[in-house]
Chain A
Amino acid sequence: MKHRDSAASLSSTLIRRPIRHWGWLFVGPMLLAFCVGFLYPFFRGIYLSFCRFRTTSDAVFIGLGNYSRALTDPGFVHAFWYTALFAVVSLVIINLLAFAVAYFLTQGIKGSNLFRTVFFMPNLIGGIVLGYIWSMIFDGILSKYNTSILMKTEYGFWGLIILVCWQQVGYMMIIYIAGLQAVPTDMIEAANIDGASRWQTLIRITIPNVMPSITICTFLSLSNGFKLFDQNLALTAGQPYLFAADGSQIRTTEMLALNIYNTFYSQNSVSRGVAQAKAVIFFVLVASLGLIQLFATRRKEVQQ
């Protein structure tokens, strides 16, 4: 403790004071860009969600009207439940597969490194390209039955699940492998000596020890699911469409991000305020997931 105090005071005289003269150079460029690229658009966006506007300059304050219109929009409500269902289903499948693959690839089998490389590869392909690769494959299969991925909501849903699994299993696998390699070997050896079966060792020793990785992967795949946009746009773009009771159109495979995008850039530019309100709701949803994750992982770091 004493040592740290002296180090801190040294840093204040030797490093802190001279560096402060150069603050404009070190922080200036990043801060200016941060204001233009994040802070201003963010706060302006919050303000605009309470306004009626076509462009950002003709905004008229109208209060909470946009929010009530957003929450009563059947398309948005449908997109919310569809997204939530998608996020949960993809979360479960991705994590089960990723954990299983990571578990077997850390058992010292031949070719582990090659397998790891292959499983991770789809992660580098962009969402738009991924969507078109898989739409080709699904349409190739479904055309044999005279249908296509755009014909049924179920096709679009499971198609997108397969797509994100292909993309993200390798990514989550890497995180799980790191977690599995950190499991103390002496604990596993002790369990083996005590005659524990492979299954018992997995449940009692391995899984409790990789809980931090499980937390990270759970939140990552959940928020990835909620934020999905490119893949959704490229694979089905919301098709097939359904007509609601009031005559409005519901794009049945449209997720939240795409719904917000479509509301912003539809023909009806009066709805931009509603779109911005939807975006704020979406932000609160995704940000709370992200912040919970940050705090959950930070608490784990302290414990270690």
Chain B
Amino acid sequence: MISHPGLAPERTRKMILTALFSILCIIYVLPVFMVAMNSFKLNTYVKTDTFGWPRGESFAGFSNFVTGMTFGNYPFFKSAMYSFVITVLSSALILICTSMAAWYIARVDSLFCRAIYYLCVFSMVVPFQMVMFTLAKTADTVRLFGFWGPKLNTPWTIPVIYLGFGAGLAVFMFAGFVKSVPLAMEEAAAIDGCGPVRTFFQIVLPVLKPTLISVGILEIMWIWNDYLLPYLVLDRTMYMTMPIHIQYLKGSYGTVDLGATMALIFLSIIPVIVFYLICQKHIIKGVAAGAVKG
């Protein structure tokens, strides 16, 4: 962009733009602010006095948070814990398995590899509704080691489902990056007698780091916010995640305690915003890198 530091109109224009965008930004964060504000209001005032400050008779203190943690016959911290377990385990499993597979696919490049690669690309454009019914049934019958071990419908085994359904984008991104990495280092390692497994973990994986971060961010954001897949796959009587819990409270109760729901929504947003503020650059980069997904 060309700038004319000497020109007064240009400077005024920029100042006006800054002022305008400052106002826009305040409007933009208002919804989140409203959630925070309403989580401190008594239930009845959330609907009648949504935009007012919690004051006097409408102020609820932390009582919404206290009721929110326990109501609905399911402790909220349990949902939070399962959300965390599922997100961490699934993302880790996806990162390890798909980066290994993508390296193999890119380097061996046989007919079989190309077939897998194009199947992965294909899986990226398949909407979840296409497979949801059969996938949920599969998760209810298949066990971790084929015919024994736990079923795939628990928080500790659902990572396998996430790996299967989410592999496409990850393999696509990793394979694209591996193809752009020169062979020289891997060849040097091979000449020095380094086997493929060690080559991968000591040479290739460090080079893949930027893509690992991008893919990791994408998977974390997807899995943390995912509602339908865990809702259909998990045994709902025993396990809930945070989105399921919130939908369950709002969706299935006749009279909803809006104040408590807002408190829970507020609690569920806080970790996301903290995470965003800490690794904002990586998140924006990772999300932009995943823009290929339709």
> Among residues 124 to 147 in chain A, which have CB atoms less than 8 Å away from a CB atom of chain B?
124-129, 132-134, 136-137, 139-141, 143
Contact status A220-B294, CB under 8 Å:
yes
The interface stretch among A60-68, A86-94, A243-251, A280-288 is: A280-288
Q: A216 contacts B291, CB within 8 Å?
A: yes
Residues of B within 8 A of A18 (CB): 190, 195-196
Any B CB within 8 A of the CB of A297: yes
Q: Size band of the A side of the interface?
A: 35 or more
Instruction: Determine whether the beta carbon of B131 is less than 8 Å from that of A41.
Output: yes
CB of B239 within 8 Å of the partner chain: no
- The smallest C-beta distance from A18 to any residue of chain B, in angstroms, reads 5
Q: Is B162 an interface residue (CB 8 A)?
A: yes
Tell me whether A174 and B284 are in contact (CB under 8 A): yes
- Contact: B265 with A38, CB < 8 Å? no
Are A27's CB and B116's CB within 8 A? Answer: yes
Cβ of B53 < 8 Å from any Cβ of A? no
Which residues of the partner chain B approach A293 to less than 8 Å between Cβ atoms?
294
Report yes or no: A118 in contact with B28, Cβ–Cβ below 8 A.
yes
Query: Quick check: is A98 within 8 A (CB to CB) of the other chain?
Result: no
Most chain B CB neighbours (cut-off 10 Å) among A41, A45, A293 = A41
What A residues does B269 contact at CB under 8 A?
Answer: 125, 129
A14, B187: Cβ atoms closer than 8 Å: yes
Contact among A39, A272, A297 for B133, CB-based, below 8 A: A272
B126 touches A287 (CB 8 A): yes
Partner of B247, one of A26, A233, A272: A233
| Chain A residue contacts of B2, Cβ below 8 A | 185, 188-189, 192
Q: Which segment, of B56-64, B71-79, B223-231, faces chain A?
A: B223-231
Q: Do B291 and A279 touch (CB < 8 A)? A: no
Give the A-binding residues of B (Cβ under 8 A). 1-3, 14-15, 17-18, 21-22, 24-25, 28-29, 31-32, 34-35, 38, 46-48, 50-51, 97-98, 100-101, 103-105, 107-109, 116, 119-135, 137-138, 142, 152, 160-168, 171, 183, 186-187, 190-191, 195-197, 200, 221, 224-228, 243, 246-247, 250-251, 258, 261-262, 265, 268-269, 272-273, 275-276, 280, 283-284, 287-288, 291-292, 294
- Residues of A whose CB lies within 8 Å of any CB of B are 7, 10-11, 14-16, 18-23, 25-27, 29-31, 33-42, 44-45, 48, 55-56, 104-111, 114-129, 132-134, 136-137, 139-141, 143, 166, 171, 174-175, 178, 185, 188-189, 192, 216, 219-220, 223, 226-227, 229-230, 233-234, 237, 257, 260-261, 264, 272, 275-276, 279-280, 282-283, 286-287, 289-291, 293-294, 297
